[in-house]
Amino acid sequence: MSKEAETTTARSTLAGSSVNLPLERLRKKRADKAQESTRTATASTAPAAPVSGRVTYLAVKGELHQRLLDDLDRRGLLGADEETLTTIVREFVDQSLELQDLPLNNTERGQLVDDLLEETLGVGPLATVMADPAVTDILVNGPHQVFIERFGRLEPANVRFRDDEHLVRIIHRIAARVGRRIDESSPMVDARLPDGSRVNATLPPVTIDGPTLSIRRFGHRRLHCDELLQLGMFSPAMQTFFKYMVSGRRNLLVSGGTGSGKSTFLGAIAESIPDTERIVTIEDAAELILDQVHVVRMETRPANIEGRGMITARDLVINALRMRPDRIIVGEVRGGEALDMMQAMNTGHDGGVTTVHANSPRDALARLETMVLMSGLELPSRAIREQIVSALELIIHIRRYEDGVRRVESVAEVRGLEGSTPQLQEIFRFESRGRKGRQIVGEYVPTGIVPRAVEELRARDIDVPLDIFQSPTRNLHG
């Protein structure tokens, strides 16, 4: 088959796939913009190379990548391990270079293998920003507009995809590696990268201007509690307090906004769980990294194309109770599983930890009450609140401040109900003292109140130091 015929066949296959049907409707609209953006990207990434040469390399690489993915799909190897895929890609490139007179120079021919490997196994053009440890978020608003968050600020990135199809191939690859699917019938997906980074992707018609990709970065290793202390997330006294609360099997709720660092904090304080305990974790996309040896990780699953096979967080919480857990950690409660988690904490499964999106400790309690109602049971408001205040002992609220630093803003003890109102008692808080340039300067202040949980631990001969609550020492951060 001639090169022209092969190209026509590949393009016909691509146009007939369900993944790219929406993209056909965008091509005409975006043609001029894509051409201009390609010239801009070429000038910024390879100023010494002719524009036409760079575009030729991108076109050849794109065509070969599509043919490679088509071949892997036909052979059922899209989900193969990296060693197998590496071998296949190298053989494919060698055969292509041998059988076809590709318009590439020697440097580009050598680069082709590495680029196709990265495109097939990884995140393609995003590899450069993924390698920057200072980047915490990557936001792709189509093939020619990429933003990153670095040190708490959004800025445009010098990264471009070739076109919509190129971006969709990367999205499809990420989803396939974790057993998720994304196409026109299911145009949204939550997934994760091998390093634990959280990924959300959308396709048209959900996002009308083209495919998008959002990546919440996680490091190649998790941050430990001592490292978070050095970063100013909390004070030494608070670190000591968290250690005793977790090892003493108290029930904790971590609250905060999007990107505030709840999951990172949760993984750090979980260090205090003894190795002798069996831990079951439940997440939408498994990202918690724990040091303990006896850990069972569970992950939700969306419905398949027939609308079957969905596994919810509530299903997993119910199942976890039958797995003889010492600890149940729910990455985030966002629905009816809140009721099952509260009931587990109230029926002997002490030491549970979970997170919730909220703007304050009191708002976290209100959100929990709403989510319990989402379970479908018609319970009176007072009964729900009694369940919540009986189950939870401590709420730790985290906030990302304007200077980009994530701090524990408040630590509050749940004291019970007064009438029908849950009572909270603040134990620690962060007090801002102003700014030093862009950085916020403040201190972590103990309120002087000794939590009831500490008194109970000391009654069990667990010697929690009381001076961490009374010390007037100022823990300046800034």
**Percent of the chain whose predicted confidence (pLDDT) is above 90:** 45
What's the gap between Cα 143 and its chain centre?
A: 21
Asked whether 327 and 273 are in contact (CB, 8 A), the reply is yes
Q: How confident is the model at residue 328 (pLDDT cuts 50, 70, 90)?
A: very high
Which segments of 61-218 are extended strands (E)?
Answer: 135-140, 146-150, 153-156, 188-192, 198-202, 212-216
**Structure tokens belonging to residue 351:** 């030491």
pLDDT for position 27: 46
Indicate the DSSP class of residue 124.
G
Most confident of 12-21, 108-117, 184-193, 434-443: 434-443
pLDDT for position 9: 42
Indicate the DSSP class of residue 207.
S
Model pTM above 0.85:
no
The more confidently predicted of residues 467 and 74 is: 467
Has residue 195 got a pLDDT over 50? yes
Q: Which of 38-42, 183-187, 291-295 has the lowest mean pLDDT?
A: 38-42
- The dotted CATH code for 225-477 is 3.40.50.300
Q: Which of 165-174, 321-330, 386-395 has the lowest mean pLDDT?
A: 165-174
**Structure tokens belonging to residue 384:** 């729900």
Residue 189 CA to residue 121 CA, distance in Å, equals 18
pLDDT for position 3: 39
What pLDDT digit, counting tens, does each position of 347-393 carry? 889 999 999 999 999 999 999 999 999 988 888 999 999 999 999 99
The more confidently predicted of residues 371 and 304 is: 371
Any idea where the domains of the chain sit in the sequence? 3-216, 225-477
What pLDDT digit, counting tens, does each position of 259-283 carry? 888 989 999 999 999 999 999 999 9
Q: Which of 216-220, 379-383, 466-470 has the lowest mean pLDDT?
A: 216-220
CA atoms within 13 A on the CB side of 78: 22
Give all strands of the β-sheet with 146-150 in edge-to-edge order.
Answer: 153-156, 146-150, 135-140, 212-216, 198-202, 188-192
Residue 24 CA to residue 246 CA, distance in Å, equals 54
Give the DSSP H or E segment for 422.
Answer: strand 421-436
The more confidently predicted of residues 27 and 109 is: 109
Q: Which of 30-44, 323-337, 455-469 has the lowest mean pLDDT?
A: 30-44
What pLDDT digit, counting tens, does each position of 125-162 carry? 887 788 788 888 999 999 999 999 987 788 999 888 88
- The dotted CATH code for 3-216 is 3.30.450.90
pLDDT for position 2: 45
Over residues 37-54, the mean pLDDT reads: 37
What pLDDT digit, counting tens, does each position of 58-108 carry? 777 778 877 887 787 778 776 566 678 788 888 888 888 777 777 777 777
| Dihedral angle computed from the Cα positions of residues 213, 216, 221 and 227, in that order, rounded to the nearest 10 degrees | 160
Report the phi/psi class of residue 210: left, alpha or beta, with left for phi > 0 and alpha for psi in -120 to 50: left
Over residues 430-439, the mean pLDDT reads: 89
**Percent of the chain whose predicted confidence (pLDDT) is above 70:** 84
Q: Which of 3-12, 386-395, 418-427, 467-476 has the lowest mean pLDDT?
A: 3-12
Residue 348 CA to residue 341 CA, distance in Å, equals 12
pLDDT for position 284: 84
The more confidently predicted of residues 246 and 87 is: 246
The more confidently predicted of residues 307 and 375 is: 375
Q: How confident is the model at residue 14 (pLDDT cuts 50, 70, 90)?
A: very low
State the burial class of residue 181 (Cβ atoms within 10 Å of its Cβ: 0-12, 13-18, 19+): middle
